[in-house]
Chain A
Amino acid sequence: MTYAFPNSDGALINFKSRYENFIGGEWVKPVKGNYFENITPVLGKPFCEVARSTSEDIELALDAAHKAKKGWAMTSVGDRAAILNKIADRLEENLEMLAVAETWDNGKAVRETLAADLPLTVDHFRYFASCIRSQEGTLAELDANTVAYHIHEPLGVVGQIIPWNFPLLMAAWKVAPALAAGNCVIIKPAEQTPTSILVALELFADLLPAGVLNVVNGFGIEAGKPLASSDRIAKIAFTGETSTGRLIMQYASENIIPVTLELGGKSPNVFFDDVLAQDDSFRSKVLEGFAMFALNQGEVCTCPSRALVQKNIYDEFMDLATERVKQTFPGNPLDPTTRMGAQASNDQLEKILSYFEIGKSEGAKVRLGGKRAQMEGALAEGYYVEPTIFEGNNAMRVFQEEIFGPVVSVCSFDDYEDAIKISNDTLYGLGAGVWTRDMHRAYKAGREIEAGRVWTNCYHLYPAHAAFGGYKQSGIGRETHKMMLDHYQQTKNLLVSYDQEPMGFF
């Protein structure tokens, strides 16, 4: 059954006409009184207004967070974990409504928000509740009377800038570990997708003490910059692209604070020649692994957007793979059978279309797609793109830059060494895929590919408790794992002497 459009008869969610900031436990109007229209990519039309905040609003949020800082840091880990678990419960109880809200804000298919975005968001809060509850410091017995205690302490007030491709899930990736570790948080959501997080917050705002979690919406230059450059944050986390990543590091260097950055990739998906050796369910899984570039319309930092296929199976593999991709086509994102929704914004659409021109201009062959998907009726002005397969070589721009659309660039390789060489011939190193029936080759390839995560005989799984982060220009830090707590904690060393005798220096 297709979900009704929000704010129509039978809708699971009726958005408010206007959303304020969430600061100090209250819904607060932006100081300058300005708002911007939020557009749903499903229709290409505005559906609500959101606060267009400025440095004044960021300062209010910083005031609130600093006021809450001591109390939250002193809240026992048991109580903090209990609150995170309750947040997870509230989100889970409203999972279907939130999935529809997320689809409307971002454009992605509800099939994915129901099956992935929301369940993973819920689980993330539970995971970090368990991490903080079970975390222990260490002690070292230096001699019979001297002990070094290592105790985890929160950083204090942290800033987080969230991307638009998985608005709720990316917020959960950052918020859950930060809150678990005892920090107070100021979030600046992406201006393309500012609303779903506020809908979620309405459900669980009462669970957190005032000021512990603050959400300030607005444009990067007007609200993101004052947050990232503030000398009242102890850490800044950002997911996005490299120029802004550099700017964030630059601001952080002015205040000598740590950063975590996730800046994308150009992930190779490598298919060795034994994958077709048998006509079995694994062969079907492999072809699914190829088609995964269309997941979330390709708007994933780890989109498997470079497929490397061994030369001796290339023709047969590409025939099968192309047939598999043809089963995927954009449709109404609120229809649970639709596999691909809309791109998140008009400029994103334009950028993808511009890459079709670049690819053709470089001599890449369009095997499938290569154009905007023209939808009918209400969806006619939404931002839809056909899943696209380019064939070419790794020096082409479509092989070197993350297009962030449903576009895969395919090339062949001769042998194992060639596969590794092409895989690593990129500025980035976030994700990669390796497909083979030979476990020795799988392990060797996985270790030699310079990427933070190598999916082996699978792809696009994002479970909590498996570390996610980049090599090379893909960023700094590891999310979705308990090691993320380290990025939100200080180490306090108490060096204690139990010796009653003088030390004997003076």
Chain B
Amino acid sequence: MDKANVQRVDITEAARELVRELTEEHGPLVFHQSGGCCDGSAPMCYQVGDFRIGQRDVFLGEVEGCEFYIGGRQFEAWKHTHLTLDVVKGRGAGFSLEAPRGVRFLTRSRVFTAEEIEQLEEPRRGPAE
């Protein structure tokens, strides 16, 4: 398995379509994986530049042209899992851009295989230069 082929984050076709629509409406987008209560564990979708990516945030990869980040400490608890950005019907709280459409992004996860973990590269921390 080639290193470049092991991704930390992927996206479903339905989520891809929603990202395209939201990009058309709002411009370039970024995802930040939330934690904690209420809508914690939900991925948040913001306009690029609205949410300030911190120096400790971990860059997990790109989905449909959008960068996907998670908090540094949360990454430590999540790093053994592969994430897939999906979308379901519902109504999330928080400031995520899709909520008014009656849908909510959802992070699905699976555990990386031992082989995949060996192939994974150390992710970048902080915003893109």
Contacts and interface: CB of A to CB of B under 8 A. Distances in A.
A and B associate in one complex: yes
Contacts of A239: 37-38
Nearest to B39: A241
Contacts, number: 169
B3 interface: no
Interface residues of B, number: 43
B23 interface: no
B91 interface: yes
B77 A400 contact: yes
B89 A427 contact: no
Interface in A389-414: 395, 397, 400-404
A220 B96 contact: yes
A164 B93 contact: yes
Interface string B89-100: 111111111011
Given A246-B51, A250-B52, A220 B34 contact: no
B94 A347 contact: no
A241 B88 contact: no
Nearest to A192: B91
Contact of A397 (B36, B50, B54, B78): B78
A163 B51 contact: no
A303 to B, nearest CB: 8
Contact of B108 (A243, A347, A354): A354
A244 B33 CA distance: 10
B106 interface: yes
Interface stretch (A121-129, A173-181, A356-364): A356-364
Contacts of A220: 92-96, 99
A402 B106 contact: no
B106 A244 contact: no
Interface string B20-46: 000000000000111111111110101
A473 B108 CA distance: 23
A101 B62 CA distance: 43
Contact of B38 (A36, A404, A428): A404
B90 A404 contact: no
Interface in A87-116: none
Interface in A154-202: 163-165, 190-192
A222 interface: yes
Contact of B90 (A345, A400, A403): A345
A52 B100 contact: yes
B59 to A, nearest CB: 15
A174 to B, nearest CB: 15
A401 B76 CA distance: 12
A350 B105 CA distance: 10
A412 B13 CA distance: 41
B99 A361 contact: no
A403 B39 CA distance: 9
A401 B88 contact: no
A382 interface: no
Contact of A243 (B32, B77, B97): B32
Nearest to A358: B109
Interface of B: 32-42, 44, 46, 50-52, 54, 71, 73-74, 77-78, 80-81, 88-97, 99-100, 104, 106-111
Interface of A: 36, 39, 52, 163-165, 190-192, 219-222, 224-225, 239-247, 250, 262-265, 300-301, 345-351, 354-355, 357-358, 361-363, 395, 397, 400-404, 427-428, 473-474
25 contacts: A163-B38, A165-B37, A191-B93, A192-B91, A220-B93, A220-B96, A220-B99, A240-B38, A240-B93, A241-B36, A242-B34, A243-B33, A243-B34, A247-B50, A263-B37, A301-B38, A345-B91, A350-B106, A357-B110, A361-B111, A362-B81, A395-B77, A397-B81, A397-B109, A428-B36
Given A191-B91, A474-B36, 17 more contacts: A165-B37, A221-B95, A240-B38, A240-B40, A241-B41, A242-B71, A245-B36, A246-B52, A263-B36, A263-B40, A264-B35, A300-B37, A347-B92, A362-B81, A404-B38, A473-B35, A473-B73
